[in-house]
Structure 1
Amino acid sequence: MDHSIALVTGANKGIGKEMARQIAEAGLTVYVGSRDAARGQVAAEEIGGDARPLVLDVTAAASIAAAARQIGTLDILVNNAGVSDDPQTPDQEDVDTFRRVYETNVFGVVAVTNAFLPALRRSAHPRIVNVSSGTGSLTWATGPEFPHSGAHAAYRSSKAALNALTVFYAHALAGDGVKVNALAPGLRRTELNATAAASGGDPAEAAAGAVRLALLPDDAPSGGFFSWDGTPVPW
């Protein structure tokens, strides 16, 4: 593969940082997206290789536009930045909670993807990876083998929306050769929520799954939803 430049949003910590690290270790240039310039700089230095900090707030149009102006060509976009909500059911969460979560997890992905499409279209092998969640699978949510309490309504529904966007972008960009896929990383030790911080698995394991999707060959699938180990996840 002739990939050379990647961007990972929300990459100054957690799974995003590990994704950036593994991409850099593969010999690529990787932009470490971070809302905070200082934290992004520290993360890039810790990652090493050709890791470069990039100030990027996926909820701010001016920040997205400024970041896009800095990158002329982009081969890989990993939409990793995400936020969660408190473990409440829809009747307990107010509309502002849904707006806050969707602003990052859904609208931020649309804004960033659209802003960087001109750069991606200049790539010979463009790839987009959307970091979703198994909790966004409607098949799993309605199946008896995966019982859910109805908690985290804003987060889970935002990931279901992200899955739908993955399919739409895959079809819309097929003519440009862009491979667009979603990843279910599994519960990982991150700051996403208290459960993840206390009992999640190794972020590096999930990051490896994202890197595999980022480096797909040209005959690989597009518009799919995959677990961290490569297993297809039902919509």
Structure 2
Amino acid sequence: MESILITGANRGLGLELLKVFNSNAFFTFPVVRTEESAETIRAQFPYNCRPIVADLSEDKSINSIKLILENSTESLDVVINNAGISGSEYLIETLGTAEVNNLFNIHCLGPIRTVQACLPQLKRSNNPRIINVSSRLGSLTRMASGEFKDRGFSYSYRMAKAAQNMFTICLGQEVKRFNITVCAIHPGELLTRGRSTDANTDPSIAAENIYEWIGTIDINSSGLFVQPLVQDMPW
């Protein structure tokens, strides 16, 4: 049985990913922030599921995740860094550094903490894969083209996702020697709580696409930025 760890697994895309991987015989480690969320997940997924309560905005989350994994599994096949939050300010006059710091902490430092916690088990997998859920708004190429000009997308979210993409590239180059695949994905314009004005994709459909795509990739795929089963994305 393959195993997967999914952050931000209590709602939206994360919950849909948990559903599809759990139903396809993966042992799942959903990472959530509260014990209440963990209890809800335990009730909904009584088999092959071990929730982990950890706040990825804090360094202590590394040990919280690591301890559960050490006591639960010898190896880990997939990590999906999905946890994220949206920003609000899109004008330089109103942009606060606290918002920027908060989004960088969640979107950049959160994945770093998760990978540090999971690396020992990933190294023992036959096909270890790290997937960072990015965004089309993290693409410097598309942003520089003016495609999203005057759309009101926040500074903090776009900056954090661009930085996360750089993390994906750097990490992929470093851990390739361990046969660990690292990719970034844009899941689509999702019909979620923080949706964009052009949202058109149900999270359940995006999760199914991600599941199918993850089953096809290996170390030769490392370094990709894609919308799974839809299109390649420019960095």
TM-score, normalised on structure 1?
A: 0.90
Alignment gaps of 5+ in structure 1: none
Corresponding position of 1:88: 90
Q: What CA distance in whole angstroms lies between the structure 1 residues aligned with 2:209 and 2:107?
A: 19
> Is the 2:165–2:184 contact (alpha carbons within 8 Å) kept by the matching residues of 1?
yes
Of 153, 173, 181, the residue aligned with 2:175 is 173
Q: 1:83 to 1:199 in 2, by over 3 A?
A: same
| Alignment root-mean-square deviation, CA | 2.0
Give 3-state SS (helix, strand or coil) of 1:51's partner: coil
Shift of 1:26: 1.4
Superimposed CA distance per residue, residues 115-162 of structure 1 (whole angstroms, 9 cap, x where no aligned partner) = 211111121211100000011111111225x23226311001111111
Q: Structure 2 matches for 1:1-235, cutoff 5 A?
A: 4-47=2-45, 49-72=47-70, 73-144=75-146, 146-149=147-150, 151-191=153-193, 193=194, 195-196=195-196, 199-218=199-218, 220-235=220-235
Q: CA deviation at 1:209?
A: 3.2
After superposition, the Cα gap between the structure-2 partners of 1:219 and 1:198, relative to the gap in structure 1 and judged at 3 Å, is closer
Q: Percent identity?
A: 27
TM-score for the superposition, normalised by structure 2: 0.90
Deviations 1:182-234 (A, max 9, x none): 1101221223x2x4599552001221233244333436410110013341100
Distance 1:126 1:101 in 2: 27
Most deviating of 41-50 and 54-63: 41-50
After superposing on structure 2, the runs of 4+ consecutive aligned residues of structure 1 that deviate more than 3 Å are: 195-200, 216-220
How many residues are matched?
230
How many Å separate the matches in 1 of 2:217 and 2:201? 28
Q: Could you say what secondary structure the match of 2:226 adopts?
A: strand
Give the letter for the 1:211 counterpart. Y
